[in-house]
Structure 1
Amino acid sequence: MAAALCCSISTRMTIFAGASTGVRGCIVVSVDYRLAPEHKFPAGPDDCLAATRWVATNAGQIGGDPARIAIAGDSAGGCLAAATALQLRDDGGPGLCGQLLFYPVTDHYAPPTRSYVELANGYGLTQSGMQWFWNHYLTEAGEADDPRAAPMRAHSFAQLPTACIFTAEFDVLRDEGEAYGQRLQLAGVATVVHRCEGMNHGFIRWVDEIEAVARTIDSACAWLRERFAIRP
């Protein structure tokens, strides 16, 4: 049985519990990682890495297949998912069969992207809000260059798991999420990037209210089923 590591509670509820088609027939592991500011960087990435290693090591005992483990997350959870994939690549495994990222944080706010400037206010998540989050997450300025905090700062994007990335049109994080997808593609990683028109940050929570969101989730589920080789 395939296993999915979820670094966000909203991803777990939407993809594996709330969607109309969903992804059935797999084990779902939701990582209860430590949160800032009580537990600053790198507590969160360390917890997600440890959880992924545990699942890979103990997959047989929980009815899982160590060759079919994917990781998923949205927003900060997307950052943690991408960072975990990078760490596993650098450490020589275990390998992942895919990474599913919704509007992920992939880089520090300095220097700002175009979406950071043009969508700074009025669309939910704000530029100042992201700056506040970052300032409470990191202890030292130099940590912003650590790929565990900002995956875009990685030295290489080759040999990472195939990826599916969804961004939102009206989101300060839009450009960095799409830039991360482009880096993966340029490195030869099979990657699809979807910009969800008319959406803002956090849109997957509206899967039961907005038809376009439901279609997006169905697409994500289909991609994940393909990675897991599960029939709908």
Structure 2
Amino acid sequence: MDSYEPEMLRTIYEDMSAKARPPYVAYVEDRMIPGPRGEIRVRIYRPDLAPSHPVIAYFHGSAFVICSVNTHDVLCRYLCLRANAVVVSVDYGLGPEDKFPAGPDDSLAAARWVAANASAFGGDPTQLIMAGDSAGATMATVTSMRIRDEGGPKVKAQLLIYPVTDYPDNAPPSYLERSQGCGMLTAEAMRWGWSHYLKDPADGSHPHASPNRATDLGSLPPAYVITAEYDILRDEGEVYARQLKEAGVDTTLIRYSDMNHGFMGMVGSLDRADEALAAACDWLATRL
């Protein structure tokens, strides 16, 4: 794949997203916030203008290379409405321009900014949630690890939607069983994403790239992990959920046996996605 392909794919996804019909949300604002390498774009969604809502830092899926706050606008709007929470969607650094660990570094900085400024946009900083899908779920759980290890703020819960949790140098069975991706995410595409994300394949063994390789998952926030049967990422996400449970973390794992990767992006138009989001939001409400 040549050097122009990431930009080409980004354009395709942005154009597709521009055709969507997003639900109404009371307040939406784009901001630039400080980050470790320069400014980071965030988009803030508020269900209403009342104070003290739970606040969700949301990290969009990307295969570490594509997508943005625009491509995940509809999902974040529905999450805002159904969780009755402020959602702050984060445009963390992507490869190949911003290779690992730029994404995790941006994500940590954004989460801390969200906690420090939540009350200014209707959020309660004591009710902070990390959430994301696919590679964004990697950012969510790695940010939770780093917050635990590097001095806060306190995170109440993690919502991890078909997360990327391991570098595929020893790919699990789902990589072979679902290698063609059922039209969504293929094994080749995921390896392509990793190749643009990492400076060196050896970085894939770092726990901030591959949470499955972390040696200590104790004392992490409660986690709700969603996987999909027809997804190459199914097995690694379920391994991560089991490892969280073994470490004593309050963890709920839900596999959607009739779905494939990316199905949550069809919320508002696919009943199964609506059901999955409602169940996740119900779980979040019990942890807040």
- TM-score normalised by the chain length of structure 1: 0.91
Aligned mates of 2:181, 2:94 — CA distance in 1: 26
Say which is worse superposed, 30-39 or 55-64, in terms of deviation: 55-64
The answer on whether the counterparts of 1:73 and 1:80 sit within 8 Å (CA) in structure 2 is yes
Displacement, 1:212?
Answer: 2.0
Aligned mates of 1:216, 1:63 — CA distance in 2: 26
Displacement, 1:20?
Answer: 11
Q: Equivalent residues in 2 for 1:171-186 (5 A)?
A: 171-186=231-246
Which residue number in structure 2 is paired with residue 6 of structure 1? 58
Aligned mates of 2:287, 2:57 — CA distance in 1: 14
Q: 1:60 to 1:205 in 2, by over 3 A?
A: closer
Displacement, 1:21?
Answer: 6.4
RCO (CA 8 Å, sep 6+): is it higher in 1 or 2? Answer: 1
Which residue number in structure 2 is paired with residue 192 of structure 1? 252
Which residue number in structure 1 is paired with residue 175 of structure 2? 116
Structure 1 residue 46 and structure 2 residue 105: aligned? yes
Which residue number in structure 1 is paired with residue 144 of structure 2? 85
Aligned mates of 1:205, 1:3 — CA distance in 2: 20
- What are structure 1's unaligned runs of at least 5 residues? none
Q: Equivalent residues in 2 for 1:48-197 (5 A)?
A: 48-123=107-182, 124-197=184-257
Which residue number in structure 2 is paired with residue 202 of structure 1? 262
Q: 1:184 to 1:12 in 2, by over 3 A?
A: farther
User: Paired residue for 1:211, among 271, 275, 281?
Assistant: 271
- TM-score normalised by the chain length of structure 2: 0.74
**Matched residue type, 1:44:** G
Displacement, 1:59?
Answer: 3.0
Displacement, 1:89?
Answer: 1.1
3-state DSSP of counterpart to 2:125: coil
**Matched residue type, 1:13:** V
Aligned mates of 2:200, 2:80 — CA distance in 1: 44
Structure 1 residue 226 and structure 2 residue 278: aligned? no
**Matched residue type, 1:173:** L
Aligned mates of 1:20, 1:84 — CA distance in 2: 20
Displacement, 1:211?
Answer: 1.8
Number of residue pairs aligned between Structure 1 and Structure 2: 226
% identical equivalent positions:
44
Deviation digits for residues 195-229 of structure 1 (CA, Å, limit 9, x no counterpart): 0011110001222332222111110111122233x
Aligned mates of 1:198, 1:184 — CA distance in 2: 25
Q: 1:62 to 1:21 in 2, by over 3 A?
A: closer
3-state DSSP of counterpart to 1:198: strand
Say which is worse superposed, 180-189 or 219-228, in terms of deviation: 219-228
**Matched residue type, 2:257:** E
- What are structure 2's unaligned runs of at least 5 residues? 1-51, 61-68
Aligned mates of 2:112, 2:272 — CA distance in 1: 35
Aligned mates of 1:17, 1:56 — CA distance in 2: 20
Runs of 4+ in 1 over 6 A off after TM superposition: none
3-state DSSP of counterpart to 2:190: helix
Q: Max radius of gyration: which structure?
A: 2
The answer on whether the counterparts of 1:11 and 1:74 sit within 8 Å (CA) in structure 2 is no
Displacement, 1:61?
Answer: 3.7
Determine which structure has the larger strand proportion and give its number.
2
Displacement, 1:58?
Answer: 2.7
Deviation digits for residues 71-102 of structure 1 (CA, Å, limit 9, x no counterpart): 10000101110110111111132110000011
3-state DSSP of counterpart to 1:188: coil
Deviation digits for residues 165-186 of structure 1 (CA, Å, limit 9, x no counterpart): 0000000000000110000000
**Matched residue type, 2:92:** Y
